[in-house]
Amino acid sequence: MKQIYSSFHEAVKDIKDHSTIMVGGFGLVGIPENLILALVESNVKHLTVISNNCGVDDWGLGLLLKNKQIDKMIGSYVGENKEFERQVLAGELEVELTPQGTLAEKIRAGGAGIPAFYTPAGVGTPIAEGKEVRTFNGKEYLLQEGLTADFSLVRAFRGDRHGNLVYNKTARNFNPMMAAAGAVTIAEVEELVEPGELEADAIHTPGIYVQGLIEGQQEKRIERYTVKAEA
C-alpha cells in the first residue's frame, strides 16, 4: 500500500531547495494543479524543473516562476509566458530547450534504465552543439542522455491505493514517463479508488512507479477555448 497524503502541503514537504523535479502536463492539460500550488506555498528555491511547458503567467508552473523558485527549466516550448522571457533575458533563469519527442524519450529512457540513445531530431541544428553524432545506415543521429528526477509530480484521472494510475484523454501526455523517472513520484488523482476498482488490463501506470497519492479537485483551465458554432 502506498502513502496517501492528507494534505498537499504534506505531499510536497520532502522537496527541498536544489531538487530536480519533473512535472507532468502538456500546456495546462494534465498538470498536477494542487501539488504545484503547494510547492509555491512551500517556497522551496533553486529548483530544476523538467516539464514540456512552463505554464502561463498566472497558472501552473508559471506560479513557481513568478515566485522565483526555478533556477533551470528543461522543456520544449516555453512561449506562453511573459515572465519566463523576462527572467531568461535578465539571466535569472537557465533554459535548456529540447525537442519534444527527444524530451519524452529522455524521460522514458531515464525511467527505463537506459542512460542514452540516438535520435535523428536536431541533427544539423543548434541543439546538436556538443553532442556526439553517429551514422547508422547512412543517416545521422544525435546521442541524447536519459533524464531522471528527485521527484516527479504527475496528474492522473483515477488512482488506487497500490499506486496504479489511469489518465484521461490527452491529459496523459508526459505523466506516465515521468512517473517512472522520478526517484519519488507523487500522483495527484481526481479520484482515489480501492484496489481492484481499476481494470488491471487498462492501467496506464503500474503502481510500482508511484510512492504516494493524494486526491485533488482540478480547475482544468483552458488555454485556447475553440468551439464550433451550434447549428
Partner 1 sequence: MAVQKDKAAIREMIARRAEQEIKSGYYVNLGIGMPTMVANYIQPDKEVVLQSENGLLGIGRSPYEHEVDPDLINAGKETVTASVGAAYCDSAESFAMIRGEHLDLAILGGMEVAENGDLANWMIPGKMIKGMGGAMDIVHGSKKVVIIMDHVNKHGDPKILKECKLPLTGKGVVDRIITDRAVMDVTDEGLKLVEIAEGWTVDEIKEQTEAELIISDELLKMPSSK
Binding site for partner 1 (CB under 8 A): 26-30, 52, 75-79, 85, 88-89, 95, 97, 99-105, 107-108, 119-127, 157, 167-177, 204, 220-228, 230
Note whether 175 and 167 are within 8 A (CB): yes
Sequence-ordered alpha helix ranges (H) in 43-197: 61-66, 82-89, 100-111, 175-181
Residues 6+ positions from 36 with CB-CB distance below 8 Å: 23, 55, 60, 61, 63, 64, 153
Minimum distance from residue 119 beta carbon to partner 1 (Å): 7
In terms of C-beta density within 10 A (0-12 exposed, 13-18 middle, 19 or more buried), how is residue 227 classed? exposed
Q: Give whichever of 6 and 228 is closer to partner 1, judged by the CB atom.
A: 228
Minimum distance from residue 31 beta carbon to partner 1 (Å): 11
Q: Give whichever of 176 and 207 is closer to partner 1, judged by the CB atom.
A: 176
Minimum distance from residue 73 beta carbon to partner 1 (Å): 10
Q: Give whichever of 1 and 228 is closer to partner 1, judged by the CB atom.
A: 228
Minimum distance from residue 171 beta carbon to partner 1 (Å): 4
Minimum distance from residue 196 beta carbon to partner 1 (Å): 24
Among the listed residues 36, 92, 100, the one whose alpha carbon sits nearest the alpha carbon of residue 62: 36
Backbone angles phi, psi at 111, to 5 degrees: -75, -20
Minimum distance from residue 127 beta carbon to partner 1 (Å): 7
Q: Give whichever of 6 and 126 is closer to partner 1, judged by the CB atom.
A: 126
Helix/strand/coil for 103:
helix
Say how far residue 220 (Cα) sits from the centre of its chain: 16
Q: Give whichever of 199 and 228 is closer to partner 1, judged by the CB atom.
A: 228
Among the listed residues 56, 2, 75, 85, the one whose alpha carbon sits nearest the alpha carbon of residue 219: 56
Backbone angles phi, psi at 174, to 5 degrees: -85, -5
Q: Give whichever of 15 and 56 is closer to partner 1, judged by the CB atom.
A: 56
